[in-house]
Amino acid sequence: MIDYETLFKISYGLYIVCSGDKNKGNGFISNTIFQVTAEPARFAACCNKNNHTAQFIQKTGSFSVSVLHKDTSPDIFGRFGYKSGKDFNKMEGMDIRYGETGVPIVLNEAIAFFECKLVQTFDVGTHLLFIGELIQAQLLDNTREPITYQYYRQVKKGVAPKNAPTYVDQSKLQQKADGSVFKKYKCTACGYIYDEEKEGKKFTELPSDWVCPVCGTAKEDFIEI
């Protein structure tokens, strides 16, 4: 028996993982970053094969990780989490530093960053596991706490995008549902679910200028599920 709610008991942070160079770069929101060895310090970053940034990492052989803080604005999640760099330049207008390898590092809302040189790539199915050796690490703000995935889900009401390794199909969670009359509406951009039962208010009663709390998409772009 697999209870998919259980998967939310695994703890993660939230990061912007970037790659590319001064001419062209891209980044995405990731929760799956962890250290794999201490000597030398190496990190694993998990990335969907369809993710635009995956191509940059393979091409340039380096990536950066920016650690986001607890009060990171929905704009950052909207820009890096739910939109594809195939369609627009995510780096435009951002506060960027270029690392020792030339990789872009997003400084907006970051409390720390790492720069890694790719040393191994493993194919784990739909995703690639990039192993990077740490070549630079800097603390930018020691007064703010890093955001956790749990906080993002519970307080910020965020959900993982479809490309995330931790994406959970809502129908799997609803296997436990009791068939209540409350409805659920889904943001067509980021997948955020407005659950009438949890919110205590009908979706149709929300003001017309109400927007998705995760990515800022208009109310009219929600669909009933």
**Rounded to whole angstroms, what are the CA distances from 183 to 65, 82, 111, 137, 203?**
38, 24, 38, 46, 8
Applying CB under 8 A, the span of 21-29, 79-87, 114-122, 190-198 interacting with a second copy comes to 114-122
Cα separation, 100 vs 65, whole angstroms: 14
**Judged by CB, which is closer to a second copy: 146, or 213?**
146
Residue 165 makes contact with a second copy by CB under 8 A: yes
Residues 6+ away with beta carbon under 8 Å from 66 = 15, 16, 17, 18, 105, 106, 107, 109, 110, 112, 113
Applying CB under 8 A, the span of 87-95, 111-119, 197-205, 206-214 interacting with a second copy comes to 111-119
Residue 154, burial from CB neighbour count under 10 angstroms (0-12, 13-18, 19+): exposed
Residue of 83, 102, 107, 131 that binds a second copy (CB under 8 A): 131
Subset of residues 31 to 50 that bind a second copy, contact rule: CB under 8 A? 31-42, 44, 46
Residues 6+ away with beta carbon under 8 Å from 179 = none
Is the distance from CB of 180 to CB of 171 less than 8 angstroms? no
Binding mask 52-91 for a second copy (x = CB under 8 A): ---------------x------------------------
**Judged by CB, which is closer to a second copy: 44, or 193?**
44
Residue 134 makes contact with a second copy by CB under 8 A: yes
Binding mask 166-185 for a second copy (x = CB under 8 A): xxxx----------------
Residues 6+ away with beta carbon under 8 Å from 131 = 36, 42, 43, 44, 118, 119, 120, 121, 122
**# residues near a second copy by CB under 8 A:** 56
Residue of 29, 57, 159, 164 that binds a second copy (CB under 8 A): 164
Residue 120 makes contact with a second copy by CB under 8 A: yes
Applying CB under 8 A, the span of 17-25, 79-87, 123-131, 198-206 interacting with a second copy comes to 123-131
Where along the sequence are the contacts to a second copy (CB under 8 A)? 1-7, 9-13, 31-42, 44, 46, 67, 111-114, 120, 122, 124-127, 129, 131, 134-139, 142, 146, 148-150, 164-169
